[in-house]
């Protein structure tokens, strides 16, 4: 996502940054959710947690 072009004041730029960061966070949440789903469906039965010493 590119920064807005032209003369941009601080408030507009802050709003742009906030929207961009929220968008990035939404992507991270989707990736995390899908990763856990795949792990639980395909790998959970094979996973053996390490033993604590």
- 22-44 pLDDT, tens digit per residue, is 999 999 999 999 999 999 999 98
Question: Residue 27 has which token pair?
Answer: 């992507």
Percent of the chain with pLDDT over 90: 64
Average pLDDT, rounded, for the chain: 88
Residue 35's domain comprises: 10-46
1 domain residue, yes or no: no
Q: Alpha carbon 41 to chain centroid distance?
A: 21
52 domain residue, yes or no: no
Location of structure tokens 């003369």: 7
Task: Tell me how far apart the alpha carbons of residues 11 and 2 are, in angstroms, rounded to a whole number.
Answer: 17
Number of domains, the chain? 1
5 domain residue, yes or no: no
Question: 30-52 as b/e, with b when 16 or more CB fall inside 10 Å?
Answer: eeeeeeeeeeeeeeeeeeeeeee
24 domain residue, yes or no: yes
Look up the pTM and report it.
0.59
32 domain residue, yes or no: yes
Residue 21 has pLDDT above 80, yes or no: yes
Residue 1 has pLDDT above 60, yes or no: no
19 domain residue, yes or no: yes
Radius of gyration over alpha carbons of the chain, in Å?
Answer: 20
């Amino acid at each position: 996502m590119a920064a807005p072009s032209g003369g941009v004041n601080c408030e507009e730029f802050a709003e742009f940054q906030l929207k961009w960061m929220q968008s990035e966070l939404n992507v991270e949440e989707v990736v995390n959710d899908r990763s856990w789903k795949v792990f639980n469906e395909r790998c959970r039965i094979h996973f053996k947690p390490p033993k604590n010493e």
